[in-house]
Amino acid sequence: MDTVEQANQELRAKGYAERDLAVHAGPRGKALLKGNKIISPFSDDAELVLRVVRELVPSDEELGAKVLRPAELRARL
């Protein structure tokens, strides 16, 4: 399983629908975390995006009506 699919599997396990939060493959090993639950896309190395999904993205239930902010995610790395 590739890194992008692992990240998406983690997001599904946390209760997110693909339209709300998903990881998409980008050029040169990059990945993009985007959807309705993030204010703007978070882009970086695919391994780092997977780490962010695993360690910093709360479950959909915990996030509730709030949205994620890429700058806050980066600050917590």
Q: What is the pLDDT of residue 24?
A: 97
C-alpha to C-alpha distance for 27 and 35, rounded to whole angstroms: 19
Q: What is the pLDDT of residue 1?
A: 66
Q: Is 75 exposed, middle or buried (0-12, 13-18, 19+ CB in 10 A)?
A: exposed
Q: What is the pLDDT of residue 10?
A: 98
Q: What is the pLDDT of residue 15?
A: 98
Spans of all domains in the chain? 3-75
Q: What is the pLDDT of residue 11?
A: 98
Q: How confident is the prediction along the chain (77 residues), in pLDDT tens digits per residue?
A: 699 999 999 999 999 999 999 999 999 989 999 999 999 999 999 999 999 999 999 999 999 999 999 999 999 99
C-alpha to C-alpha distance for 24 and 61, rounded to whole angstroms: 22
**Residue 74 near residue 49 (C-beta atoms within 8 A):** no
